[in-house]
Amino acid sequence: MEGAENIHNRQIFTVSGKDITRAPDEWRRITGGKHLVPPSAVEPSVIKLYPSNRIRDIRPINYSENDQNSLRRSMSSFMLIAQCFALCPVQGITSPQVQDLRFRWRCLRVVYSIVMTLGMATTFIFTIAFYMKGFFNFETSTTFVFYALGFACCVCFLNLARRWPRLEDLWQRTEQEQIKYGYPKNLHLKINVMSTVTLAVALGEHLLEKYTVISAVARCSDTKAELIELYYLMDYSYVFQFVKFSPPLAVLCEIVNFFASFYWNFIDLFVMVLSMALSSRFRLLNNHLRLALGKVKPEEFWREVREDYNSLSVLTKYLDSCISSIVLLSFATNMFYICQQLYNTLRKSVGTVKLVYFFVSFSYLLFRTVAVSLCASSIHEESRAAKDFLYAVPTQSYKIEVHRFLVQISTDAVALTGCRFFTVNRTLLLTLGGTVVTYVVVMVQFSSPSSGYATNDTELCLKMTARLH
């Protein structure tokens, strides 16, 4: 057995289960010093065993101009939008080659992300101080959770950026190994359409929320300047309760609020996009099995399919380790806002403008929650769909590889999780729905709606006018 000191001087390769040990100089002589890879005659996968027991495929990836539906190309514009809002600060995000992806702490993208993280943290601290003065209750806790989500989102995506190059590298190598299945059809178009529609509706919902505040403030102001100042005093009272009002600070508050609103919508969109891309890979594998339905296939065929499935399983587990905290944030905040909006509606009457905003916002929130649940659960559904084809394997083909494949599908939990607190499958959506229905029943039994809309507006106007003078 070689000593640990010799590991650095000799490279160990595995080719089709056989170990081939070569000195680096010998490999360099064989390949002309360009790449540390075995001779081109070797077709099976080649992996390199590093001293730290990390296994990595070192074959050069072949790039094609027709792989626009690969994850690298499909998500380049999507991730560029994320970086415009200080998320996932990775260099080379628009490059078609995964080797160009780099994460470095000393770059402007990371500085931009850290600055926005500090902005979210500062605003979050203001909300804590505001509620500690006696303003905290469940009705007004929206702002507290809103900026807590913004801060947590910045931290999670900054942590994800450190692992993103490795994730994309693993994903692209899986695509190349399974190139015989092709790429998911119109994946880039689906991602672009989903992103455009979701962000457009989110922008409309955000502007409608601002309009409801302005319409309430308009009843209390006589001039345009007074209207603007009262708007900021009302919408950002948790800041100007401690700091004197100034236009530059008001603009900063508006920017941070807009970014936080984007984060709240983007985490759902991010989970949906990655889930759709990964479930599409499983669907390609299932389509390949569908072509073999009822046919007698050699054992080599089933071994290759099982290994491809195992590659997708490994990719799913690594993806889950990268984004499980984001999945947890997505489901937790969606459930909170659904319950909070129902609570505010049952507890008090609202005006026409607020009623329209509630209907639009609540409908969009429900749609987004259902969409992210179905998209994320599609990974679990597609990963188990192969069982139906394995049950239909003819007796002549049912050998050890088919049995191993069936056992792996039946016992291996291939799905996204929320930090392993829950598994995202279709039954989770029913659980969430049952929780909301139970909450509504309890609220109806223990709450008595009030009709104090006009009184509340009058008191609000008096308070804001007193602060101005």
Tell me, yes or no, whether 449 and 344 share the same domain. Answer: yes
Tell me, yes or no, whether 312 and 350 share the same domain. Answer: yes
Q: In terms of pTM, does the model score above 0.75?
A: yes
- For residue 141, tell me if it sits in a domain: yes
Tell me, yes or no, whether 409 and 302 share the same domain. Answer: yes
By CB atoms closer than 10 A (0-12, 13-18, 19+), residue 43 is exposed
Residue listed under structure tokens 């998209």: 375
Tell me, yes or no, whether 229 and 366 share the same domain. Answer: yes
Structural domain of residue 20, as residue ranges?
4-57
Provide CB contacts within 8 A for 224, sequence distance 6+.
none
pLDDT at 458: 54
Of 5, 7, 18, 98, whose CA–CA distance to 49 is shortest?
A: 7
Tell me, yes or no, whether 31 and 119 share the same domain. Answer: no
- For residue 204, tell me if it sits in a domain: yes
Query: Mean pLDDT of residues grouped by 10 in the chain (469 residues)?
Result: 39 36 44 38 35 40 64 91 94 86 92 96 93 74 91 96 94 93 92 95 92 83 82 88 90 95 96 96 94 89 94 96 96 92 70 80 92 95 92 89 93 92 92 87 68 49 62
Provide CB contacts within 8 A for 39, sequence distance 6+.
30, 31
Tell me, yes or no, whether 25 and 101 share the same domain. Answer: no
- For residue 66, tell me if it sits in a domain: no
Residue listed under structure tokens 């000799």: 10
pLDDT at 406: 93
Tell me, yes or no, whether 13 and 126 share the same domain. Answer: no
- For residue 193, tell me if it sits in a domain: yes
- For residue 157, tell me if it sits in a domain: yes
Tell me, yes or no, whether 42 and 132 share the same domain. Answer: no
Tell me, yes or no, whether 45 and 116 share the same domain. Answer: no
Tell me, yes or no, whether 276 and 420 share the same domain. Answer: yes
- For residue 64, tell me if it sits in a domain: no
Q: How many domains does the chain have?
A: 2
The C-alpha atoms of residue 87 and residue 96 are separated, in whole angstroms, by: 20
- Residue pair 467/415 in contact (Cβ under 8 Å)? The answer is no
* Sheet arrangement for strand 46-49: 18-22, 11-15, 46-49, 55-57
- For residue 65, tell me if it sits in a domain: no
- For residue 191, tell me if it sits in a domain: yes
Tokens of 54: 């990390």
Tell me, yes or no, whether 267 and 345 share the same domain. Answer: yes
- Residue pair 333/365 in contact (Cβ under 8 Å)? The answer is no
Tell me, yes or no, whether 49 and 190 share the same domain. Answer: no
